[in-house]
Amino acid sequence: MGTDYKTLRVIPVSPALGAEISGVDIAAGIDDEQFAELQQAFIDYSVIFLRDQEITPDQHVEFAHRWGEININRFFQAAESHPMIAEVRKEAHQKANIGSSWHTDHSYDQIPAMGSILYAREVPQVGGDTLFASMYAAYDALSDGMKAMLSQMNAVHSSRHAFGEAAYAGVDMNDLGGRLGNTGAATQDAVHPVVIRHPLSGRPALYVNGDFTVRFDGWTREESQPLLDFLYAHACQNEFTCRLHWRKGSMAIWDNRATHHCALNDYHGERRLMHRITLEGVPLQAAA
């Protein structure tokens, strides 16, 4: 990406996005120079992966505070004694996982989250990988005509259909096992540009996602759905993606404004426990 890193070893994991970072020990402490390079890698690659981090929940929270203010999740079960940490958990007997469809977190908020810091505490022997897709690459690959149209459009996002009472109709609540809830808090609605100017990189990025985007502003749902379906399929093409294989002690830090992600549900019969801290963002502006 052109950055000359002095305190980190940065290895890209795909042409579109993602890099593995070595030379970082969160528990031992990160000085200001190295943290600044870590932030630059985050901007350059949209998602960065750290391996073999042995940290406590307190150290996870302290590290997150260096990135910005923490957003306490409304709908996930919190880690015991650490309300700032959300559990992303699937027990061995449970069938459904969390985050199995392509999405970006918190787009339903008026000020969407900047990103997340996800830490692996228990992982299956095989499976449970996370896929990420670049919304820079997705935008760049659109035709000039599509870019011109989308640049003038906004989209409506909501938490109601995803986390409200209707979201759990017909769902086996025993299988959820207390992992998701608080349906009464699912009252968020927001309107954001379909193409945003990324607040850190300045690059244009596609900003609609299948979990939380409801329709285009000023359009009906019926009018919106065909174009939204095209954009969702377009955004997650293989050449725009990278894949993280988790090990215990792995950490991913991703930018919600520049990526989509999904968690594979291919480890039935094994437990997977991740700790996630979400970081507050800034208002989004249109690229046009």
Does the active-site annotation cover 157? no
Q: Which of 103, 198, 257, 272 is catalytic?
A: 103
- Nearest one of 279, 278, 276, 277 to 120, comparing CA atoms: 276
Q: Which of 192, 261, 272, 275 is catalytic?
A: 261
Q: Which of 105, 109, 211, 255 is catalytic?
A: 105
- Nearest one of 249, 201, 185 to 24, comparing CA atoms: 249
Rounded CA separation 130/245 (Å): 7
Tokens representing residue 187 in the block: 């009252």
Chain-centre distance for alpha carbon 177? 23
Asked if residues 48 and 253 have their Cβ atoms less than 8 Å apart, the reply is yes
Q: How far is CA 242 from CA 19, 103, 177, in A?
A: 9, 15, 30
- Nearest one of 81, 39, 76 to 58, comparing CA atoms: 81
Tokens representing residue 43 in the block: 């901007």
Does the active-site annotation cover 266? no
- Nearest one of 253, 209, 10, 229 to 115, comparing CA atoms: 253
Does the active-site annotation cover 105? yes
Rounded CA separation 176/90 (Å): 9
Q: Is the dihedral of CA 136, 200, 60, 71 positive or negative?
A: negative
Does the active-site annotation cover 161? no
Asked if residues 120 and 246 have their Cβ atoms less than 8 Å apart, the reply is yes
To which H or E segment does residue 33 belong? helix 32-45
- Do the bridges between strand 78-79 and strand 82-90 make them parallel or antiparallel, or are there none, so unpaired? antiparallel
Kindly list the catalytic residues: 103, 105, 261, 276
